[in-house]
Chains A and B, each alone.
Chain A
Amino acid sequence: MKALLPRASASARSRLAGAGLIVIAAALVAALVLASVAIGYAAFDVPSAMADLLAGRTTLPALVLWELRIPRALLGALVGFSLGLTGAVLQGYLRNPLADPGILGISSAAALGAVMVFYGGLAGSLSLALPLGGIAGAALAALGINLLAARGTGTLGLILAGVGLSSLAGALTALALNLAPNSYAALEIVFWLMGSLADRSMDHVWLCLPLMGLGWILMLSTARALDALALGEDTAASLGFDLVSVRLRIVTGAALAVGSGVAVSGAVGFVGLVVPHLVRPLVGSRPGASLWPSGLLGAALVLGADIAIRLLPSRPELKLGVITALVGAPFLIGLLFRRQGRT
């Protein structure tokens, strides 16, 4: 099957460049994770806190390191990788450069689930009520889209189903907020949806890490199919790819990665939309080759934005989604202008 795909020396060279890019991006992410752990609102001796932590001493600095700094840095990387990867997969699969992780309606469904479980008081005083609700919402949405996808709806049908699901989930969220016993619910959720990694804990990491990992594996397994799909669905099918299985893996993987991301951090916009466009000129136009670099660059972008939030003097801190949108939107407009100039 591999031998059937067109190969040329140019593609081999771009594959090498891709590997180099992955190494550089991974190093960047690692550096930003360390920076994110070191930067915060109160100064303390991070290395000695790390020593306390490793020795099992529950000093206050060790506590802050383990329950505030490290989870914040890890979640930034996890959420960013999920967004970048999902954006690249969906843009490749839908063959639409405007596809972003929210396009299947999963972010909206996750928000709906979070609101219903949390404000409905279904989870009592469970501290993870909100993320668990978000994950439940995303899971239900993925089930619905998969039922559609399994019936063989085309990519256009998938996008339309996503748009419909987004609007429905948005309307139901508004309804749930109206009925919520807490009169500040709408206000809180508006802010929560802008995305933030402030004051999360290790519990959030343990909650989303396995789900995201599974989602990444499912999506990364479609890399070769995405390359084939660039030649059209019929060609891909004739090359022996089971398109229904590809679709199921992509929808389920996106739901797991984005759903658990929204559940722990709210909606962080523009990362999944912009990052694949940044990566594509560097790896050539094979969608499969852009997956790892997009994920890593997404992680770097979210980590960078989250560090910037803490360095900026504005208090209470700006929301993560605000920063990524402020950077992402002008970039997108610039991209469209350049494209028009070219054609």
Chain B
Amino acid sequence: MSNRARIRVGAVSLMVLLLGAGLAGAGAGDAEGRPARVVSMNLCADELLLRLADREQIAAVSYLARDPRGSNVAEQAEGLPRTRGLSEEVIALKPDLIIAGAFTTRATVALLKRIGFPPLEIGVPADFDGMRGQIRMVAAALGHPERGEAMIAELDARLAEAMQWAGTPRLRALVMRPNAFTVAPGSLGDAVLTAAGLINVAAEIGQDRTGQVSLEAAALADVDLVILDEGARGAPSLADALLRHPVLAELRRQGRTVSVPNRLWTCPGPQVAEVVTRLVAAARARTSLR
């Protein structure tokens, strides 16, 4: 190894050490061993953190937390520091617990692992049990397991309340998100449809590997309820343009559409029960019309 290369390697390892030291030097939590400076780097992590932790425990949330179009906790996030999930921002906050999404800010997560500070990574739950498990895991990491149980109890109570009205016959439903992305069988969204007593048509018309359905197949499948998000529009996008196609306008005119904000079922939390409630109500209205 040449001298210069050796110096370079030395410099890099020193930097990594210093970064690690910066994190290790952070407060190691309060008397009860709870983390005192928690940073979340993903919207779903933000929602759980804001609902389960004491406000003093929160060092920063992600920049998405305050956007009411996507976030269910925009008000609670008001006044808290925000990051875009960059390594520098996160490390400068000297966190003692970092919660990251399993599919977001991968570069930062990789760096944090390299310097010996692995974040708690939360994936995308595939059903209600996965969701309950995730709530429990985060609540335990925050040192408030009882709050996790309370959240699960609230979710289950609201689910039970909604599901007792789920009707027969089971109606046929299809979720159409921007770019014609749908809810695939075996996902949390599919479990939500099932809980609301609906048949997920995506299973029979099939979707491609990215989970998109063709508008043609969607229209011909004779769907009772096309589930769209017709809420507040964000910045203009071609992905949304599809949802204004005349075919969907005609389905809307025939009373075959129902609008449910996507933010209600993007992340785990008691708000998912709200989706079931709305779908059950829409299905009952549709059945009485037919």
Contacts and interface: CB of A to CB of B under 8 A. Distances in A.
A69 B220 CA distance: 12
B216 A63 contact: no
A54 interface: no
B235 interface: yes
Contacts of A119: 235-236
Most buried by B among A63, A130, A185, A189: A63
B6 interface: no
Interface string A231-251: 000000000000000000000
Contacts of B237: 182, 184-185, 188
Interface residues of B, number: 27
B216 A64 contact: yes
Contact of B245 (A69, A182, A201): A201
A89 B222 CA distance: 47
Interface of A: 40-42, 44, 58, 60-61, 63-64, 67-69, 118-119, 121, 125, 127, 129-130, 180-182, 184-185, 188-189, 192, 199, 201-203, 315-316
B242 interface: yes
Contact of B234 (A40, A68, A182, A192): A182
A201 B249 CA distance: 12
Given A42-B205, A60-B222, A64-B220, 8 more contacts: A67-B246, A68-B216, A121-B236, A127-B244, A130-B238, A181-B235, A184-B237, A201-B247
B247 A67 contact: yes
A121 B221 CA distance: 34
A44 to B, nearest CB: 6
Interface string B221-238: 110000000000111111
Interface of B: 205, 208-210, 212, 214-217, 219-222, 233-239, 241-242, 244-247, 250
B144 to A, nearest CB: 34
Given A42-B205, A42-B220, A316-B212, A64 B235 contact: no
B237 to A, nearest CB: 5
A44 B208 CA distance: 20
B235 A121 contact: yes
A42 B235 contact: no
Contact of A58 (B210, B239, B250): B250
Nearest to B207: A315
A111 to B, nearest CB: 13
Given A63-B250, A127-B241, A182 B219 contact: no
